[in-house]
Structure 1
């Protein structure tokens, strides 16, 4: 079995698998190239040719995870960006404003922790250093912040998500001080 056979046999399935999980075509092509490189570099390790499809899918899944991890570590969000995600629809903009209002109403220590991780892109270890906390203390503070945001958001909004975590349906339950 060689890389050309695998490419011809699995290329379209791989493209469909990746594009369902990666938002834009350029990123999908980048992930696909990385998957093909990993397949080529590890092709000699495959022992059971009957499990090639599952092996390829596992490589693709791991590469998609690596793709999102690398983006999370390098992307910085400015406090003035109203969108939740690139290409966000109007309801995402409304939710984004609501979330910013919720964050603004958190106790100061939780507000600071969530802003440092979410908007400034700091790791929880960096947050710990900046705030003079242990790493587990910073992690706990960020998790509590997220839990508070989720609780407040679910009080005022009904949300439905797709399997990628994107909001596909949004309804306000009523007027609140956040939304």
Structure 2
């Protein structure tokens, strides 16, 4: 039997075992969707290496070892991703705490900002109100929205960028140069426009 014929036969055997292989992975990862992904990746890797299986070795036993390694690799990647996201969240927390205004400064923050927060996307508004205006943490934001701390940190960063852009458009030079005087001419003009 040629190597190609042998590989085709081995692949046919694996495909016949697909349901059992999928069940094996699903029991270990707890998700049908993730199990499908892992099995598919393992089949791709397995097809490339199936010719190297020794004739005296069961192709099914060989593939189970391949699946175990694929599951371990997926877990390692997941743990590494979570670690990076947690570290990012800690860095954001430290940065936010270092730049946290005191009570006096909070009272001086331009009232323009408060009105502009309402114009942001709802998830950005929530991020600004939870962390910057409400004194919450990135972890609080993550819990409230059912997302990871890393995703919450990214959301807060994007919300701050969006708010900064709105402030620059609305307040012009005041926002660029750090003017906190809401009694400025632009602010007065906005109040008059809003009242009419």
TM class by smaller structure: 0.3 to 0.5
Greater helix share, structure number? 2
The higher radius of gyration belongs to: 2
Normalised TM-score (structure 1): 0.41
Normalised TM-score (structure 2): 0.38
Greater strand share, structure number? 1
